[in-house]
Amino acid sequence: MEYRHYRNRNFRHLLAGPFIYSMIVPLVILDICMEIYHRICFPLYGIPYVHRSSYIRIDRQRLSYLGLFDKISCMYCGYGNGLLHYTSVIAAQTEKYWCSIKHKTDPTFIPPEHHKDFLEYGDEKQYRAFIDKKE
């Protein structure tokens, strides 16, 4: 709620509002598409489902001390940020299943946490050993 510290920016906040809240449309489309992918492909791959409720949490609107605008904003952020986190976990599980090779070292790239156990970029010997390993 950092915006409350910038009362003199009300006009800018009003201008930004339609852009922020119009993102609900692509978020819902992303949600539908990811859920279809998740529910169909994960069982086919043998990957356990990602529990949606562990990532999407919409609960702050129940706080009695928030005004209506803050409650709506908190619901929107809980859904949007939770959905993106949920989606990134589904994407990470997919990447672990299909690839599991780190990207080339670059000081400007921040690797995701799940890359820590991936094979080193350019290490063909490590790759071949992994491929030849029997289940």
DSSP designation for 61: G
Segment 27-79, tens digit of pLDDT = 999 999 999 999 999 999 999 999 999 999 999 999 999 999 999 999 999 99
Segment 65-80, tens digit of pLDDT = 999 999 999 999 999 9
Q: Is residue 10 part of a domain?
A: no
Q: Is residue 59 part of a domain?
A: yes
HSE value, Cβ hemisphere, 13 Å, CA-based, for 86: 24
Clarify whether residues 78 and 119 are in a common domain: no
Clarify whether residues 67 and 111 are in a common domain: no
Clarify whether residues 87 and 123 are in a common domain: no
Clarify whether residues 80 and 119 are in a common domain: no
Structural domain boundaries, residue 46: 23-98
Cα(98)–Cα(100) distance, integer angstroms: 7
Residue with token string 């299943």: 97
Clarify whether residues 83 and 125 are in a common domain: no
Q: Is residue 40 part of a domain?
A: yes
What pTM did the predictor assign? 0.88
Q: Is residue 5 part of a domain?
A: no
